Structure 1
Amino acid sequence: MSPVEGPPAARFRRTDVDWWRDAVFYQVYIRSFADGNGDGVGDLAGIRARLPHLATLGVDALWITPFYPSPMADHGYDVADPRDVEPVFGDLAEFDALLGEAHALGIRVTVDLVPNHTSDRHAWFRAALAAGPGSPERARYLFRDGRGPDGAEPPNNWPSVFGGPAWTRVDDGQWYLHVFAPEQPDLDFTSPEVLADLETTMRFWLDRGVDGFRIDVAHGMAKPADLPDMEPMEDTGLLDDHGPGDHRFDNDEVHDVHRRVRAVLDRYPGTMAVGEVWVSDDDRLAQYLRPDELQLAFNFKLLTAGWDVEELRDAVVHSLATVAGTPAPACWVLSNHDRPRHVTRYGGGEQGTRRARAAALLQLALPGAAYLYNGDELGMPDVDLPDEVLQDPIWERSGRTERGRDACRVPVPWSGTEPSYGFSASAGTWLPMPEGWGPLTAEVQAGDPGSVLSLYRAALALRRTSPAFAGEGLDWVPAPGGCLAFRRPGGLVCLLNLSGAPVPLPEGRVLLASAGTSGGALPSDAAVWLQA
């Protein structure tokens, strides 16, 4: 692995160790954000060039998806070296420059930590294959003998999240576990060497000046010692929570790993970690937020809720109930690189955009931290891509029955009227960009006070400066049928209308609305912020 180098000279000066409690984070899916060298793939130089956009938008922090050396079987989540930079994306000097420039703009930087598995090209896994059964090298992973008289059957019945079995047999007859793709062998966290290496990786990036981590598959690092069969499940979709019968995730021993992670973070005041925890039970999810574990955990209920007033209200109620007995605030997300974008989920087209504008005001009015996905601020939809360009491993692993996540990963349009819309100096991009996106570009939207981008900029400015957003709680207030409304302690009232008809505005001064409020009424599929 790469040697540890010194941190950049210009380090962000933290003034508030709890900055993350109400921060707005911006997820940069690095391949799709901005291309700085013209090869059609986003990179660190591209992020640097677009930092002014992020500063004007008003976000507090970035989460950058994996940019580490990788064969790209799962676009960076198969990490071959967690302490270096994939040449496609740049190098360590480029990362240091990005970190320093972001900090100079007051934007903190968090990076992805991928502890559950490595790439099959990682030096450890290559050594494990060479060393053979029973070796210390294999003890870093989950190698097992197969079942049946000749060991030709997998050690258990676990399916891969990406389709097919979660086991692959190697030449000497043993099998190794990969909850994701075969190119992503799972690590064994009962190995002290595995835990120690995770801590070394964390210190490598913290010493350079990063402000924290997003932990991939944060509910997955612990497996039951005997690797028992799991209950057969019809739907083993991407990271869905299947409950206590699914032994692949949310085993109690995973909390020991998070305590070790927290112990490292506590030696770097002002740093934090957010966990990708697909656990739907409120009490189980709350365990990840104990005082000596994660500072934040994504609660995906808002992301998975339909455009329905009861579903949205339940998502808020359960998310707040999860954190009520913990030191953590809630953590809200509407879209990410693994799920359909909310413009598309809410119906697509003008309807989906109208609803997405309203959902943005709902998300940003709620107490706690919020995560935006690159392109949310432009109202980007999913793209219906042709079969021949699909790259997500889910497509092949499912026998080409599940199209995977590429539709929500199409590059961000910046300027111009034709692909690649300023994303790259090249017209060819790693996933094709559709015709007709000229009006969606950041350049066009920046000049339109009624655009989605202008709405986000106004919302983030108010969230940052208005005393109406004070306090971490909320109270539900009476609302017309088909609507939900709540009030924050500082006086902010948020009303969301899904009733199908206009409703009267509550009393108060309108701060921001997702649609016109002429005549004192809020249209359907719209939201408004008022100062009570």
Structure 2
Amino acid sequence: MVSVMTSEWWRTAAIYQIYPRSFADSNGDGIGDLAGIRSRLPELARLGIDAVWLSPFYTSPQRDAGYDVADYCDVDPLFGTLDDFDAMLAEAHRLGLRVIIDLVPNHSSDQHPWFQEALAAAPGSAARGRYLFREGKGEHGELPPNNWNSIFGGPAWTRVTEADGRPGQWYLHLFDSSQPDFDWTNEEVRDEFRRILRFWLDRGVDGFRVDVAHGMIKADGLPDYTPPADAGSMGGAASAGAGVALEPEISDEGDGAPYWGQDGVHEIYRDWRKLLDEYPGERILAAEAWVDPLPRVAKWVRPDEMHQAFNFGYLETPWSAPALRSVIDDSIAVFGAVGAPSTWVLSNHDVVRHASRLALTADSLQGHGIGPKSPGLPDPVVGLRRARAASALMLALPGSAYLYQGEELGLPEAIHLPDDARQDPTWARTNGERYGRDGCRVPIPWEADAPAFGFGPADAAWLPQPAEWAGLARDRQRGVAGSTLSLYEDALRRRREFELATGTVEWLRGFSPDVVAFRNGPVIVVANTGTEPVALPDGEVLLASDDVSSGTLPGDTTAWLRA
């Protein structure tokens, strides 16, 4: 059943992230594309989602899987053409699905015409003023302007060779050296992104997920900064298992890091919100803002700014009832205080898939990834049980939910990728010290017995697919009672049927400390994060992540009951 486009749809939407190069390949080159996406959209409509979010498909050298953009208003030939995009968008709208696209405003590719112009221009020129070029320190400018490190490892500055052959200025790149940061104090940069927004809005997109929405503005003077050793790569909570504390005031100060969470970003989003509000159909902005604690995230979704911000505090919460109760309460309170819906998310293209992450027995910092030599590798059976339970819990909460492609199949992280297959810049820039994000980006399986598990018509995939994924293919799970796919379909259908996304959380008492139990409208939700079974309350079982026919709720299991 497809969704109905309703007023303020984004407050309750279930939004499905498509990572284009790993979703569906139409031509057999091993890389997913827009025609492939279009062909599989009916499957997503059947799943019961309301919208899709596409990671970048723009013209790009693909040094960072498309997050290095060379042309913001065209499609990379890897993925097709603008006509392919238009056809995909029309098919999504025909099916009742909205389409959100990624926008990458913090940095461009070094192949962007602007940066090529900057390299050819002189220091102090208008062309260089679009980026963050600075003179180096030291007697001959041989040292970088400050001590910042790249998110992908290594220094955040690269020195250029000037037109006369001499070593020259340095440019900032918080990510790979092929991704120079824009200078957002430059009005020409702001005008260009207004043009880009209008280009896609005029084409009919329903909104934008804004990459690195807590970046863009850097502290005056670009002061030195050394992040804590246990900090995740993108900021936010200190570690993947960090709890989230509720603070009574929303600070206007930065995030500690002088390149994250600076207050000047909000002026940009107020400007963009006015622009989007000119268009009919409730076009939206969703923020990727890795800031902590939660009250600071709420600044991104004040009434005149963005519509949604990803709730990374929830994503990073361990599988622990006290921690989950706390982050759910805090999320509803802080987002509600500014009139915004809470969002809920467990996986995306930058984090270890939750079917593995929730069973790790050692810390894994966001962005570092896991591989064969990582400590505390997960038990796949425990990981899948917890993932199913966590997803059933998440989809019962009021607000908007984000799903990452393949999680509805129970896909785990692909841990045992060959070293020579890894493509994340993090792997190369840290000399293999960090595995990076390739493990969550492997092309997903559609048909168990088809080439590349149905990813494409040829036996080709840009990252190798684990052989054991055949058993998780969509055709093996479709219509099978108890499968992870059926669990997601049932949860999304019941979520709509009982209007849980517009409901409230009423905590229920009398349960074990390991249990999360609440009522949302006519539905009682009980999640057991412990190891010992607990008695189920009275009521008709609507769905369960594992067998509850005995009348008890096993460990690592969630059930919904009609009150």
Residue aligning to 1:411: 443
Give, in whole Å, the separation in 2 of the partners of 1:388 and 1:236: 28
Residues 1:147 and 2:137 are matched in the alignment: yes
Residue aligning to 2:209: 214
User: CA RMSD for the aligned pairs?
Assistant: 1.6
Residue aligning to 1:339: 351
Give the stretch that moved more between structures: 315-324 or 16-25: 315-324
TM-superposition CA deviations, 1:416-473 (whole Å, max 9, x none): 3365101011212100012122211000100311100011011111111224x26343
Residue aligning to 1:183: 178
Q: How does 1:338-377 map to 2 (within 5 A)?
A: 338-347=350-359, 348-377=379-408
TM-superposition CA deviations, 1:45-84 (whole Å, max 9, x none): 1101101110110110000000000000100000000101
Q: How does 1:434-449 map to 2 (within 5 A)?
A: 434-449=466-481
Residues 1:251 and 2:262 are matched in the alignment: yes
DSSP-derived class of the 2:558 partner? strand
Deviation at 1:296, TM superposition (A): 0.2
Give, in whole Å, the separation in 2 of the partners of 1:474 and 1:528: 15
Deviation at 1:15, TM superposition (A): 4.8
Residue aligning to 2:37: 47
Give, in whole Å, the separation in 1 of the partners of 2:350 and 2:222: 27
Residue aligning to 1:227: 222
Contact 1:31 1:42 in 2 (8 A): yes
Q: How does 1:199-348 map to 2 (within 5 A)?
A: 199-235=194-230, 237-241=232-236, 244-269=255-280, 270-347=282-359, 348=379
Contact 1:161 1:237 in 2 (8 A): no
Deviation at 1:283, TM superposition (A): 2.3
Contact 2:294 2:313 in 1 (8 A): no
TM-superposition CA deviations, 1:199-235 (whole Å, max 9, x none): 1111111111110010000000111231111245324
Give the stretch that moved more between structures: 501-510 or 37-46: 501-510
Give the stretch that moved more between structures: 507-516 or 148-157: 507-516
Structure 2 CA distance for partners of 1:147 and 1:334, relative to 1, 3 Å = same
Percent identity of equivalent pairs:
52
Residue aligning to 1:90: 80
TM-superposition CA deviations, 1:398-429 (whole Å, max 9, x none): 12210100011111000033651010112121
DSSP-derived class of the 1:135 partner? coil
Structure 2 CA distance for partners of 1:260 and 1:13, relative to 1, 3 Å = farther
Give, in whole Å, the separation in 1 of the partners of 2:5 and 2:480: 35
When the two structures are superposed, what TM-score results if normalisation uses the length of structure 2? 0.90
How many residue pairs get matched? 519
Give, in whole Å, the separation in 2 of the partners of 1:37 and 1:206: 28
DSSP-derived class of the 1:83 partner? strand
Deviation at 1:521, TM superposition (A): 1.3
Structure 2 CA distance for partners of 1:23 and 1:471, relative to 1, 3 Å = closer
DSSP-derived class of the 1:485 partner? strand
Deviation at 1:176, TM superposition (A): 0.5
DSSP-derived class of the 1:168 partner? strand
Give, in whole Å, the separation in 1 of the partners of 2:513 and 2:211: 39
Give, in whole Å, the separation in 2 of the partners of 1:17 and 1:192: 34
Structure 1 counterpart of 2:33, which letter? D
Structure 2 CA distance for partners of 1:306 and 1:147, relative to 1, 3 Å = same
DSSP-derived class of the 2:480 partner? coil
DSSP-derived class of the 2:452 partner? coil
Question: Which of 529, 552, 555 is the aligned partner of 1:524?
Answer: 555
Structure 1 counterpart of 2:210, which letter? I
DSSP-derived class of the 1:50 partner? helix
Structure 2 CA distance for partners of 1:400 and 1:470, relative to 1, 3 Å = closer
Deviation at 1:290, TM superposition (A): 1.0
Contact 1:30 1:65 in 2 (8 A): yes
Residue aligning to 2:452: 420
DSSP-derived class of the 2:102 partner? strand
Deviation at 1:322, TM superposition (A): 2.3
Residues 1:113 and 2:103 are matched in the alignment: yes
Give, in whole Å, the separation in 2 of the partners of 1:191 and 1:53: 44
Structure 2 CA distance for partners of 1:123 and 1:161, relative to 1, 3 Å = same
Residue aligning to 1:196: 191
Give, in whole Å, the separation in 2 of the partners of 1:168 and 1:472: 51
Residue aligning to 1:9: none
Residues 1:163 and 2:194 are matched in the alignment: no
Contact 1:417 1:437 in 2 (8 A): no
Give, in whole Å, the separation in 1 of the partners of 2:314 and 2:82: 36
Give, in whole Å, the separation in 2 of the partners of 1:385 and 1:419: 19
- Which consecutive residues of structure 2, in runs of 5 or more, have no partner in the other structure? 163-167, 239-253, 360-378
Give, in whole Å, the separation in 1 of the partners of 2:112 and 2:230: 31
Give, in whole Å, the separation in 2 of the partners of 1:443 and 1:513: 22
Question: Which of 61, 66, 78 is the aligned partner of 1:71?
Answer: 61
Give, in whole Å, the separation in 2 of the partners of 1:229 and 1:470: 44
Runs of 4+ in 1 over 4 A off after TM superposition: 12-15
Deviation at 1:481, TM superposition (A): 2.8
Contact 2:384 2:410 in 1 (8 A): yes
Give, in whole Å, the separation in 2 of the partners of 1:211 and 1:453: 27
DSSP-derived class of the 2:525 partner? strand
Give, in whole Å, the separation in 1 of the partners of 2:382 and 2:349: 22
Structure 2 counterpart of 1:200, which letter? R
Deviation at 1:311, TM superposition (A): 2.4
Residue aligning to 2:464: 432
Give, in whole Å, the separation in 2 of the partners of 1:13 and 1:355: 28
Give, in whole Å, the separation in 2 of the partners of 1:416 and 1:325: 47
Contact 1:20 1:369 in 2 (8 A): yes
DSSP-derived class of the 2:161 partner? coil
Structure 2 counterpart of 1:257, which letter? I
Residue aligning to 1:390: 422
Structure 2 CA distance for partners of 1:194 and 1:17, relative to 1, 3 Å = farther
Deviation at 1:237, TM superposition (A): 3.7
- Which consecutive residues of structure 1, in runs of 5 or more, have no partner in the other structure? 1-11
Give, in whole Å, the separation in 2 of the partners of 1:103 and 1:470: 22
Give, in whole Å, the separation in 1 of the partners of 2:405 and 2:275: 29
DSSP-derived class of the 1:327 partner? coil
Give, in whole Å, the separation in 1 of the partners of 2:458 and 2:3: 37
When the two structures are superposed, what TM-score results if normalisation uses the length of structure 1? 0.95
Contact 2:397 2:501 in 1 (8 A): no
Deviation at 1:358, TM superposition (A): 0.7
Deviation at 1:480, TM superposition (A): 2.2
